Amino acid sequence: MTPSKAIEVVIPTRNDYLYLEKILKTVTSIDLISAILIVDNSTSSSVSKEIKKICNQFGKVNYFFSSIGGKGNAIRLGISQTTKDVLFLDADLENLSKKSILALIKKFNECDVVKASFSRSNGQSNSSFVKDQLQVLFPGLAINKPTGGIYLVKKEVLEKVKIPASWSVDMSLVIQAYQAGFRIGEVEIGKVKDKARTEMSLQMSKRELIAELKVMGETK
């Protein structure tokens, strides 16, 4: 049984659009999804034009531009435009399936936050980098993919958490929800094909994750 309430989708993107049309075709095919918000996170002007062109093909899709960099800032803008529970997705997902989204929605019946657990075909993972430390700080939060960008969140959770500006937002949101007593779930969706990140980008995000974990540990 799937939830009867409508769901909105927030997809932040920074220069990613190659698979966006495919993602939107998949997402708009699900009846429960009432609106999709694409948040352009300070993308270059030429790529922004391509993103807008893709968005204009779909009646359920709305385009927003975030002039301040940082995934958290883009997500904060997206949340400010929503009134319902929200499904968060990344814009570089090459093989996102309707089956995966429906699995998340099904699990959502019994949870307030549902994270997708997956492996990346490119072998990259920041979740493995922080997982041990996360388990020490929050042993009751047993999830495999704390940093993953695919997850469903109830509106009441979004109204209580503070969204950080950085790329630590996906992990921070689930930790804050856990600390506030909300129910956390996870669904395995298999292997995800997405864009490989540069070593510089990975190291930067690791620093942001460490900093966020330190803050979260101090507020236990």
* Mean pLDDT taken over the chain: 88
| pLDDT at residue 183 is higher than 80 | yes
CA distances from 108 to 7, 25, 137, 214 (A): 11, 22, 25, 29
Match 């929050």 to its residue by tokens. Answer: 138
Domain membership flag for residue 70 = yes
Q: Which carries the bigger pLDDT value, residue 22 or residue 212?
A: 22
Report the domain count for the chain.
Answer: 1
Cα–chain-centroid distance for residue 174?
Answer: 11
pLDDT band at 197 (very low <50, low <70, confident <90, very high): low
Segment 125-132 shows an average pLDDT of 69
Domain membership flag for residue 1 = no
146: domain CATH number?
3.90.550.10
Domain membership flag for residue 39 = yes
* Spatial contact of 150 and 60, defined as CB atoms under 8 Å apart: no
What percent of the chain shows pLDDT beyond 70? 86
Domain membership flag for residue 55 = yes
> Three-state SS for 127?
helix
pLDDT band at 1 (very low <50, low <70, confident <90, very high): very low
Domain membership flag for residue 212 = yes
Helical ranges in 67-168 per DSSP H: 71-80, 98-107, 127-137, 155-158
* Domain span holding position 130: 7-218
Match 């460490």 to its residue by tokens. Answer: 210
In whole angstroms, give the CA distance from residue 33 to residue 35: 6
The predicted pLDDT at position 144 comes to 87
Domain membership flag for residue 164 = yes
| pLDDT at residue 123 is higher than 80 | no
The predicted pLDDT at position 69 comes to 86
Largest CA distance in the chain: 47
Domain membership flag for residue 2 = no
Q: Which carries the bigger pLDDT value, residue 143 or residue 21?
A: 21
Domain membership flag for residue 165 = yes
> Of the ranges 9-23, 56-70, 110-124, 167-181, which one carries the lowest mean pLDDT score?
110-124
pLDDT digits (tens, 9 = 90+) for 133-181: 888 888 899 888 888 899 999 999 999 999 988 878 999 999 999 999 9
The predicted pLDDT at position 168 comes to 86
| pLDDT at residue 93 is higher than 70 | yes
The predicted pLDDT at position 207 comes to 74
pLDDT band at 119 (very low <50, low <70, confident <90, very high): confident
| pLDDT at residue 64 is higher than 80 | yes
CA distances from 137 to 46, 170, 197, 213, 220 (A): 44, 17, 28, 9, 8
The predicted pLDDT at position 199 comes to 65
